[in-house]
Structure 1
């Protein structure tokens, strides 16, 4: 029995070692052949996806502020001009607004940094209606960061943006500290 157990352990180790090492040496053509084989095997046992992954368009953006913002009045749209990613071209840095290119469920996140005694009230807005509020009010740290998240079902053409609300924003730190991101997470 000990010999059999040792053989099983050795076999598993060799299989694991081969799997890891061969991943780096597999050619693209061989990889595609392997994937086709896996798909074929899945179909034979009735285990196949309802829709091919390539049927989905990626819609995602990420943008941050180029510079600090001072003394913004209430209801000022924040324009995140430094666009890192804009798949689907839904985000417009000139307006600070994301326009849904197609129907779906979308996820949005934002974060902002302010300085000592900073006051910033931020709203996530969908078609001119506030849906999430985040704030920092007269905080006492040297700098402090806060963030928010919104998941929302959008129709094509709906707009989402970030704006100040309630009180004027005293200071919002620019650069990578303050950003707005979003992506489509599901079709409807």
Structure 2
């Protein structure tokens, strides 16, 4: 199977070789281009899709977060493909594929934070910090999953979280692998 770039190179070489042999008007060039693209299509060339990736964190600290609260990472630093919605904290898959998600959070001394990664309402990964004893401690989670277009992924609390550090000490990110 030829890649999209490979097809474009193929088309470009064909166009160059024919344009030197036959100096035709621009309409003929466009007709030739269309014909060459049809050849690429018959060769089953795959066109590269838009990148799907996001990375977000929340600015302020979160305090006394109730159980079953979706964490809204409202400071979006990257949102290619527009899959992540900072107003809801939910990523919606723009297309079918294999996706990777990561998250990180930091808790304060004597704090406990239990977070679940949810896919379409089902718990897929559990992460926690339980009554940690140092001044601050962080933990991360990772999920690789196959999603259908419209599938939703979010991070939520599974118990009350007394304190989650804001700023660059937290994030939720994801991208489409293929």
TM-score by length of 1: 0.71
1:164 counterpart residue number: 157
Does 2:77 align with 1:96?
no
2:79 counterpart residue number: 86
- Inter-CA distance 173–51: structure 2 relative to 1 (3 Å threshold): farther
1:132 counterpart residue number: 125
Query: How big is the alpha-carbon RMSD for the aligned residues of Structure 1 and Structure 2?
Result: 2.0
Alignment match of 1:71 (pick from 56, 59, 64):
64
Does 2:98 align with 1:105?
yes
Unaligned ranges ≥5, structure 2: 1-8, 14-43
CA distance in 1: counterparts of 2:81 and 2:134, whole angstroms: 39
1:56 Cα deviation (Å)?
A: 2.4
Secondary structure of the 1:176 match is: helix
TM alignment of 1:1-150, pairs within 5 A: 51=45, 55-150=48-143
Does 2:167 align with 1:175?
yes
Question: How many pairs align?
Answer: 141
Unaligned ranges ≥5, structure 1: 1-35, 41-49
CA distance in 1: counterparts of 2:156 and 2:137, whole angstroms: 19
Moved over 2 A (4+): none
CA distance in 2: counterparts of 1:74 and 1:129, whole angstroms: 16
